[in-house]
A = this chain, B = another copy of it.
Amino acid sequence: MKDLEKYIQTYFGIQRDDLEKIASLFTPQKIAKGDYYLKQGMYCQTLSFIRSGLFRIYAPQDGKEITQWISGKDYFITELSSFIFNTPAKWNIQALSDTTLYTINKESYQKLGIMVPKWHELEKLFIARCFSILEDRIFNLLSLSAEERYQSFFTAYPELFNQVPLQYIASLLGMTPETFSRIRKKPQVSDTSKHIP
């Protein structure tokens, strides 16, 4: 479980012994490609750290599927509001590949706050960072064209483009697969091939 410990250490900046306490509450889990971590309407009972593989968070709407986000290695996954506030999940969370996780249930999660006094504060900072990322995403949706959103996302997450069906990326950027495909076909500004004689 070194990867989880390492992540928490770099991200949360926490003591060695606290770190082991935290990690010991997580248990390994596997979810096969196509299976669900969470289905819409259920009550999310777990929080997980993705060790390997990819998940898609999405919801059906008007006969389409709106992809909200794609999460991979070294990300936490859960439906925050369902997990914390005990509400029915708004999203489906499905494995896009065979995946391995470290998972904690609610009961153990409660213990975290008792065992590690700084836990709530660290978690607060973590969620605040996520909040800020969503704010930026909203700003992009409000102010950028489809092509600019593509560029911005490609710059930030280039590795995703050969790991998941592109239609999902199109959806989370707020465009159709066709528009996505046409943007990709265009010669990109950063493409230097045309300068080679």
Query: In the bound complex, how far is the Cα of B44 from the Cα of A128, in angstroms?
Result: 15
Chain B residue contacts of A59, Cβ below 8 A? 139
Query: In the bound complex, how far is the Cα of B88 from the Cα of A38, in angstroms?
Result: 37
Q: What distance in Å separates the Cβ of A151 from its nearest Cβ neighbour in chain B?
A: 15
Question: SS class of chain A's interface: helix, strand, loop or mixed?
Answer: helix
Chain A residues within 8 Å of chain B by Cβ, number: 35
Closest partner residue, chain B, to A137 (CB atom) = B138
Q: Which residues of A pack against B, CB within 8 Å? A: 59, 61-62, 64, 66, 68, 80-81, 84-85, 90, 113, 120-121, 123-125, 127-132, 134-139, 141-143, 171-172, 174
Sorted from nearest, which 9 A-B pairs have the closest CB atoms? A81-B132, A124-B124, A120-B120, A134-B134, A120-B121, A61-B143, A141-B141, A66-B143, A142-B174
